[in-house]
Structure 1
């Protein structure tokens, strides 16, 4: 990783890439585990590996944790706290850039390889029945249902993002406001409730004051920043 130093490239060090390509040519199933302190180049692995696991620096019990996930003894539920770039030329890359939305590069998409909040599971989850209820002038209750529609028990991390449609100061296209991790047995359904309070609706204006401005806010519910399942809106007067 190079603690205290920057890297000029995100490529794997030494002959690791050559090793990966040689292993893939054997025709055997290939699982790639990244032990890293910062995002490394994952383009090749995302295309050619049968599975990809990012473990960061997992500590002295990391080997057991990785084995539990790979052998199916534990259903993974981790979510990326960062965006994983496709190229070093994208850096900095993050999900909550301010409007207007970035355009693509000449050579490639501007989107990350793996977005903030992304993470896979051995099961699947279905989102439905979004409801937004105004409790007071600056308080809203957002509720929805999540059902485990797969074959395995597992945990899901529901995420609530918001966008201020119009503000006196430029705002992010999307901003995480709330999230909740919860366990569902296969076939089980759960009602999730988030409360949007004044703090969630406020911005810092040009006078560096924290205020709430009137207007429309888009509410987005999903499994990651680029996997939005439900959308609604609220109006603050």
Structure 2
């Protein structure tokens, strides 16, 4: 399983994913779940994936092939699409086709396979947008009322986002919030694991503002986790 979260704020986008994939307690691997597509000054697109690895890898491979195809058009390539809504539609259509193809084979073996994706970014002349793509290809969009979306093991990291995130949250505070949301998930679910991938994109930058991988021995993340645990313990003891 995995956990991915994206925030859509006035100041920009903040996106975070883990990298754990497991098929049983004795078969745990690390795979990147966040993928970036950037044409500086024109568009920046980030995708995060959760669910069946073969579905997500096949979907991403086909989307990448469509970008590189000599006959690519705005109807086939996310890097030529007119706007982020068209990008979400292209990703949804591809995920739906791959899911349908795989489902036929999996049904014969009485197995299930499903996947979902978060697609975020901005096209020159358009606004920043954040979408959650379902296995069937349909999607929902983040709004001012609900400025974040999650996929994977989302329940453990949701409470802090509900309490602190609004559309006006500054990027630095949002960055802290997603890291603490992930920390809560890491502590409560073994199917989510480090390293983590973080991307920050300022509004209208049309390029990635910050991108980094947070390894298990990252001192800053460990210090933040310890401080959050202590703050929770202190708050608990102070409540009558």
TM-score range normalised by the length of the shorter chain: under 0.3
- Calculate the TM-score normalised by the size of structure 1: 0.22
Pick 1 or 2: higher relative contact order, CA cutoff 8 A, min separation 6.
2
Higher strand share: 1
TM-score (norm 2): 0.22
Higher helix share: 2
Q: Which structure has the larger Rg over C-alpha atoms?
A: 1
